[in-house]
């Protein structure tokens, strides 16, 4: 994947978010906003447990989900139990990233660390990556732009570009770990080389299963899944959709050869249709 | 089925009404170029010339719509910064660029009556990219995570192609005297019929995932599209053969129907993204 970087290629890094130790402090959300200068975009009370962030988007690159359930945390030891699931969601930095594939300008690119990043000086806000992402991570920023418009006649006043987690590309370049992982007080967010993280996750899952934790599973660890494995994967305590995550995400461009084949045949059919319209006279 | 407070898994598209409007004008431009060349070869000069002008006009409006939709319109040239096969939008930008250049060149030379060989070359290029231009937008929306678009990936280019052909035929049937517009009328009629058959087959095959095509705003526009295209085509095929006024009314109805069809497919994508059941259920079913 990183062949094009030659000697500059680095080991692929990512996140392992172990939600079994997440305490919902949202330090990751704050650290991310602070470090990356992600703007404030409205303060609302949702009434959805302690979650007033709601979803990832252009101005939210870490989002802590809160789920209240009448389920025991361990096996079936307790009756009438309540458990509180918390999970810090983030861009998955897919091995096969749809956003990157469909980006028509080359603004989205694969870094030397194997992460997926938007070049904000290239993005022209076409918006194609937004519905392409199977996780609904990337989005367009509608806040007022900060720089002076280049061409006043056709320029818009809003930012208009897409934004998402960069896995703190600047911090990685400087040899630091991403801000969210640095700020996490329980090591729920673990940063490191992806291979190490996968090993660590396997060990952690085995331990939780031995302790009879209810519903423990890894999400996005498998390199053979629909997106080739996540660069940022998770240990969850229930099905992915409970956290607002798709159960079996697939990179849309996997089907592209077949799509182009259909388009080519359809184009041929248009030509044939036009020719057929002239059968029986061209006037 | 569980969800996170009923919130969507996917993001709704951020595209504005310019995009479905472009699906319509791009289709009209592409199919008109093909119609123009076919008429030229068939010896129907009036139809050839006017279809060429119609195509050039639609080709001129199309990039303006696309640029207007960009979050950063002043960066529109970044579309031609790279050529990416994995991005139907990149491929489409190049197709539109070539089509726009060739069609406007041909139309200008036709109007000026000069440089015949250059004009013919431009017409050839214009009609060669015309058919891809008329269908690729179907592939563009299909190459997303939106279930109602992605699962329809094999039908959408055909649906958009038939819609484009009907648009080109209808526009030409308005612009050309009835005595010389028979192929245009046949194209409008055939396109409208094929498009409605594809729509039916697509909804039948998609089942649950295809629900958004029938519901809400998308469903309303789909119904309007059906009524307008079939009604307009019927008018073209009957009274439109004798009366220019009836041809104009029929052609106008078909054009309105095709615009409604693009709008319907566009809105169906939003409805599909908004409800997590369309994302989660099919994935859950195949994952078990």
A178-190 confidence digits (pLDDT tens):
999 999 999 999 9
What are the sequence ranges of the domains in chain A? 3-250, 253-283
All structural domains of chain B with their residue ranges: 18-287
Say if residues A236 and A243 touch (Cβ distance below 8 Å): yes
Residue B288 pLDDT: 64
pLDDT range class, residue A127, cuts 50, 70, 90: very high
Which residue in chain A has the smallest CA separation from B284? Answer: A247
Does residue B228 contact residue B250 with C-beta atoms inside 8 Å?
Answer: no
Q: Does A222 touch chain B (CB under 8 A)?
A: no
Helical residues (DSSP H) of chain A, grouped into ranges: 27-36, 98-102, 129-132, 169-173, 179-183, 194-210, 256-277
- The stretch B197-225 carries a mean pLDDT of 97
Model pLDDT, residue A149: 78
Taking only the tens place, the pLDDT of each residue in B254-278 is 999 999 999 999 999 999 999 999 9
Residue A85 has pLDDT above 70, yes or no: yes
Antiparallel, parallel or unpaired: β A83-90 and A62-69: antiparallel
Write down the pLDDT at residue A72.
83
Residue of A44, A55, A91, A131 to mutate, testing the B interface (most B Cβ within 10 Å of its Cβ): A131
Task: Specify the pLDDT at position B16.
Answer: 96
State the Cα–Cα distance between residues B176 and B185, nearest whole angstrom.
10
- At residue B86 the predicted structure's pLDDT band, cuts being 50, 70 and 90, is very high
Give the pLDDT of residue A133. Answer: 98
The tens digit of pLDDT for each residue in B22-63 reads 999 999 999 999 999 999 999 999 999 999 999 999 999 999
A39 touches chain B (CB under 8 A): no
A75: pLDDT strictly greater than 70: yes
Contact B190 A276 (CB under 8 A): yes
pLDDT for the residue A42 = 81
Distance of alpha carbon A246 from alpha carbon B281, whole angstroms: 9
Q: Is A77 a residue whose pLDDT tops 90?
A: no
Domain B18-287 has CATH 3.40.640.10: no
Query: pLDDT tier at A78 (50, 70, 90 boundaries)?
Result: low
Portion 91-120 of A in contact with B at CB < 8 A = 98, 101-107
A79 has a chain B CB within 8 A of its CB:
no
Residues 6+ positions from A180 with CB-CB distance below 8 Å = A15, A27, A28, A29, A31, A32, A62, A88, A90, A168, A189
Instruction: Answer whether residue A79 shows pLDDT above 70.
Output: no
Residue B261: φ, ψ to 5° = -60, -45
For residue A123, the chain B residues in CB contact (below 8 A) are: 71-72, 75
Contact B71 A270 (CB under 8 A): no
The whole-number pLDDT of residue A2 equals 67
Residue corresponding to tokens 């295209």: B229
**ipTM here:** 0.96
Which range has the worst mean pLDDT, A32-36, A145-149, B101-105, B164-168?
A: A145-149
| Mean pLDDT, rounded, of chain B | 96
The pLDDT score that the predictor gives to residue B1 is 85
Cβ pair A244:B160 closer than 8 A:
no
Which residues in B lie closer than 8 A to residue A135 (C-beta atoms)? 9-10
Strand partners, B29: none
Q: Confidence class of residue A157 from pLDDT cuts 50, 70 and 90?
A: confident
Q: How confident is the model at residue B130 (pLDDT cuts 50, 70, 90)?
A: very high
> What was the pLDDT predicted at B63?
96
A54 at B interface, C-beta within 8 A: yes
Average pLDDT over residues A251-269: 97
Chain B residues near residue A255 by CB distance under 8 angstroms: 143, 150, 153
- Between CA A10 and CA A15, with CA A11 as vertex, the angle to 5 degrees is 120
Share of chain B above pLDDT 70, in %: 100
Does the domain made of A3-250 have the CATH classification 3.30.230.70? no
Distance from CA of B61 to the nearest CA of A (A): 15
B112 touches chain A (CB under 8 A): no
| CB-CB neighbors (< 8 A) of B182 in chain A | 280-283
Q: Do B79 and A259 touch (CB under 8 A)?
A: no
**Maximum separation of any 2 CA atoms in chain A, in Å:** 83
Banded model confidence at residue A73, pLDDT cuts 50, 70, 90: confident
Average pLDDT over residues B138-162: 98
With a cut of 70, say whether residue A76 has pLDDT above it: no
**CB-based contact A177:A25 (threshold 8 Å):** no
- Give the tens place of pLDDT for each residue, B234-254: 999 999 899 999 999 999 999
Nearest residue of chain B to residue A124 (CA atoms): B72
Q: Which residue of B has its CA nearest to A158?
A: B71
Mutate to test the interface with B, among A103, A254, A273, A275 (most CBs of B within 10 A): A273
Total Cβ atoms within 10 A of residue A5: 14
């Amino acid at each position: 994947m990183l062949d094009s970087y030659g000697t500059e290629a680095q080991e692929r890094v990512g996140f392992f978010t172990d939600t079994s130790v997440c305490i919902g402090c949202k330090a990751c959300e704050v650290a991310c906003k602070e470090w990356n200068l992600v703007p404030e975009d409205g303060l609302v009370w949702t009434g959805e447990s302690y979650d007033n962030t709601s979803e990832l988007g252009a101005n939210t690159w870490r989002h802590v989900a809160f789920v209240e359930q009448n389920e025991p945390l361990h096996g079936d030891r307790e009756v009438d139990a309540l458990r509180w699931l918390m999970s810090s969601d983030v861009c998955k930095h897919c091995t096969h990233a749809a956003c990157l594939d469909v980006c028509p300008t080359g603004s989205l690119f694969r870094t030397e660390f194997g992460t997926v990043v938007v070049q904000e000086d290239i993005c022209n806000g076409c918006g194609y990556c937004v519905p392409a992402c199977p996780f609904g991570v990337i989005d367009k920023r509608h806040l007022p732009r900060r720089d002076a418009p280049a061409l006043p006649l056709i320029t818009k006043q809003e930012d208009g570009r897409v934004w998402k987690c960069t896995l703190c590309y600047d911090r990685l370049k400087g040899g630091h770990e991403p801000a969210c992982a640095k700020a996490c007080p329980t090591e729920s967010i673990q940063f490191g080389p992806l291979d190490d993280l996968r090993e660590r996750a396997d060990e952690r899952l085995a331990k939780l299963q031995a302790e009879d934790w209810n519903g423990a599973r890894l999400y996005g660890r498998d390199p053979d899944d629909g997106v080739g494995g996540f660069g940022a994967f998770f240990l969850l305590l229930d099905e992915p959709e409970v956290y607002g995550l798709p159960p079996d995400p697939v990179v849309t461009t996997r089907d592209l050869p077949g799509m182009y084949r259909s388009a080519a045949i359809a184009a041929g059919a248009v030509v044939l249709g036009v020719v057929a319209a002239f059968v029986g006279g061209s006037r | 089925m569980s969800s996170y407070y009923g919130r969507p898994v996917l993001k709704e598209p951020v595209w504005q009404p310019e995009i479905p409007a472009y699906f319509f004008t791009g289709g009209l431009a592409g199919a008109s170029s093909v119609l123009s060349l076919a008429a030229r070869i068939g010896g129907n000069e009036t139809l050839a010339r006017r279809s060429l002008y119609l195509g050039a006009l639609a080709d001129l409006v199309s990039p303006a719509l696309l640029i207007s939709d960009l979050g950063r319109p002043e960066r529109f040239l970044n579309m031609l910064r790279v050529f990416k096969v994995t991005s139907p939008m990149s491929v489409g930008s190049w197709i539109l660029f070539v089509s726009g250049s060739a069609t406007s060149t041909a139309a200008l030379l036709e109007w000026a009556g000069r440089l015949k060989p250059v004009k013919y070359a431009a017409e050839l290029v214009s009609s060669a990219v015309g058919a891809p231009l008329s269908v690729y937008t179907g592939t563009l929306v299909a190459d997303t995570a939106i279930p109602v678009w992605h699962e329809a990936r094999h039908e959408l280019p055909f649906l958009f192609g038939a819609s484009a052909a009907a648009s080109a035929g209808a526009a030409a049937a308005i612009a050309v005297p009835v005595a010389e517009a028979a192929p245009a009328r046949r194209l409008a009629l055939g396109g409208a019929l094929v498009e409605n058959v594809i729509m039916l087959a697509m909804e039948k095959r998609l089942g649950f995932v295809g629900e958004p095509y029938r519901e809400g705003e998308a469903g309303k526009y789909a119904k309007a599209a059906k009524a307008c295209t079939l009604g307009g085509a019927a008018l073209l095929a009957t009274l439109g053969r004798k009366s220019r006024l009836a041809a104009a009314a029929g052609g106008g109805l078909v054009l309105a129907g095709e615009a409604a069809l693009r709008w319907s497919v566009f809105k169906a994508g939003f409805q599909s993204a908004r409800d997590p059941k369309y994302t989660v259920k099919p994935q859950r079913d195949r994952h078990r």
